[in-house]
Structure 1
Amino acid sequence: MRIRGALAVLALALVLGCSGTIQAQERKSEEAAIRIVLEEQVAAWNRGDIPGFMASYEDSPETTFVGTASVNKGFQPILERYKKGYASKEQMGALTFKELDIRLLPTAGGVTEYAVVTGRFHLERTARGAATKDDGVFSLVWHKGPGGWKILLDHTA
Structure 2
Amino acid sequence: MKSIYALLLILLIYSCQSNDKNNTIPSENEVKAAIEKTMASQEISWNNHDLEGFMQGYWKNDSLRFFGSKGLTYGWDNALSNYKNTYPTPNETGTLKFVLTDISKIENGAYLVFGEYHLERNLGNANGIFTIVFKYINGDWKIIADMSC
Tell me the TM-score normalised to structure 1 length.
0.75
Higher gyration radius (CA) = 1
**Counterpart mapping for 1:68-107 below 5 A:** 68-106=69-107
Q: Which runs of 4+ in 1 moved over 4 A?
A: none
- CA RMSD across the alignment: 1.5
> Within the alignment, does 1:149 sit opposite 2:141 as a pair?
yes
> Within the alignment, does 1:127 sit opposite 2:123 as a pair?
yes
**Counterpart mapping for 1:1-157 below 5 A:** 26-106=27-107, 112-127=108-123, 134-157=126-149
Return the structure number with greater relative CO, CA threshold 8 A, min gap 6. 2
Identity %: 30
Is the contact between residue 67 and residue 148 of structure 2 (CA under 8 Å) also seen in structure 1?
yes
AA in 2 matched with 1:154: D
Distance in 1 (alpha carbons) for counterparts of 2:143 and 2:56: 9
Secondary structure (helix, strand or coil) at the match of 2:40 reads helix
Secondary structure (helix, strand or coil) at the match of 2:61 reads coil
Distance in 2 (alpha carbons) for counterparts of 1:72 and 1:34: 22
Q: How many residues align?
A: 124
Deviation at 1:104, TM superposition (A): 1.5
Distance in 1 (alpha carbons) for counterparts of 2:32 and 2:147: 20
After superposition, the Cα gap between the structure-2 partners of 1:55 and 1:99, relative to the gap in structure 1 and judged at 3 Å, is closer
Secondary structure (helix, strand or coil) at the match of 2:109 reads strand
Q: Structure 1 regions of 5+ residues with no counterpart?
A: 1-24, 107-111
Tell me the TM-score normalised to structure 2 length.
0.79
Distance in 1 (alpha carbons) for counterparts of 2:29 and 2:65: 27
Deviation at 1:147, TM superposition (A): 4.5
